[in-house]
Amino acid sequence: MKLGYPTITWGGVVGTPEGVTSVASSFYRTNGSTADALRDIAAAGFTGTEVFDGNLLDFEGGASAFSRVLEETGLELVSVYTGANFIFEEIAAEEFAKISRAAQLAAEFGASRLVVGGGAQRAGGPADGDLSRLARGLDRSAEIAAEHGLQASYHPHLGTLVETPEALSELMPLTTIAFCPDTAHLAAGGGDPAHLIREYGDRLAHVHLKDWNSSTKRFLPLGQGELDFPGIIQAIRETGYDSWLMVELDYYDGDPADAARISRQFLEQVLADQSFHESRPSRQVKEH
């Protein structure tokens, strides 16, 4: 398996201000320096990274500047994260225009995967058909990604329609998009990450690893919370997945470079302690 680390921890997740008045301009981004984040990620020993769609806008029309930092650090841009509401049909065209732009940028900068979040929660609670509308939106997002040579996967997330394992079990039969588990979000929503990885193992196409403390409701570097990562890694291996593991952390009180090093050292030990000689052949994720 290959280990990557997204840039989100350097500045945390915010949005583009233009998105307040323009749905098609509503991108995710971090406030930190992308170049500094990539240098810290490489120094921590990771070989791949993931960025938000909005951070690529900083390099739009100047891909060589971004490519130079990747070349300097030796990192591979593996994936780009995007998302949308998906349940409001009147703005669907605007959202798909944004996702198309995100996919175009991801392909331009050399990524092979598009990670898709979303499925809005209404102020008055879910309306009939919201999950079906989300599923159609995810299928269309996967089509857009494929048009740009990318593989799309869905990331269940707190604060969306799909927080709980029950909601995930309702959604997955309605859509064909691949699955990107986030261990902390799955646990925080009341799920067992290892169980859910096994349940949807035939659709596993990308992985986000982060730790979780249910008492403090905080995301943490690997090994500093309560999640059973040896069990989670074993579940991933049982699916036959043998590709990128993205160690993600939405925020960190200290130096984000320290968090990256902590997680890298912990994950290396977990991987070293496990046998890598399974009888079942590894299933390589197809890169478009």
- What are the chain's domains? 2-273 (3.20.20.150)
Per the model's pLDDT, the better-predicted residue between 280 and 198 turns out to be 198
Tokens of 54: 């909005």
What's the pLDDT at 276? Answer: 46
Q: pTM for the full model?
A: 0.93
What's the pLDDT at 115? Answer: 98
- Give the pLDDT mean for 73-97: 97
**75 Cβ contact partners less than 8 Å away, ≥ 6 residues apart:** 38, 41, 42, 46, 47, 48, 49
Q: Percent of the chain scored above 70 by pLDDT?
A: 94
- Give the pLDDT mean for 229-240: 97
**164 Cβ contact partners less than 8 Å away, ≥ 6 residues apart:** 189, 190, 191
What are the strands, taking DSSP E only, across the chain? 2-4, 13-15, 28-30, 48-52, 76-84, 113-118, 151-154, 178-179, 208-209, 211-213, 218-220, 244-247
- Give the pLDDT mean for 215-236: 98
Q: Tell me: the pLDDT tens digits for 114-157?
A: 999 999 999 999 999 999 999 999 999 999 999 999 999 999 99
For residue 253, pLDDT beyond 50 = yes
What's the pLDDT at 65? Answer: 85
Helix (H) or strand (E) holding 42: helix 34-43
Instruction: Return the number of other C-beta atoms located less than 10 Å from residue 158's C-beta.
Output: 16
- Give the pLDDT mean for 223-235: 98
Q: Tell me: the pLDDT tens digits for 158-171?
A: 999 999 999 999 99
| pLDDT level of residue 70 (50, 70, 90 thresholds) | very high
What's the pLDDT at 62? Answer: 66
Asked if residues 161 and 121 have their Cβ atoms less than 8 Å apart, the reply is: yes
Q: Region of 40 please: left (phi>0), alpha (psi -120 to 50) or beta.
A: alpha
Q: Mean pLDDT in the chain?
A: 94
For residue 287, pLDDT beyond 90 = no
What's the pLDDT at 64? Answer: 82
Asked if residues 21 and 15 have their Cβ atoms less than 8 Å apart, the reply is: no
Distance of alpha carbon 191 from the chain centroid: 18
CA neighbours within 13 Å on the CB side: how many for 272?
A: 6
Instruction: Return the number of other C-beta atoms located less than 10 Å from residue 214's C-beta.
Output: 12
**135 Cβ contact partners less than 8 Å away, ≥ 6 residues apart:** 171, 174, 175
Q: Region of 11 please: left (phi>0), alpha (psi -120 to 50) or beta.
A: left
Q: Of 172-181, 219-228, 256-265, 270-279, where does mean pLDDT reach its minimum? A: 270-279
Tokens of 208: 């986000």
Q: Tell me: the pLDDT tens digits for 3-58?
A: 999 999 999 999 998 998 999 999 999 999 999 999 999 999 999 999 999 999 98
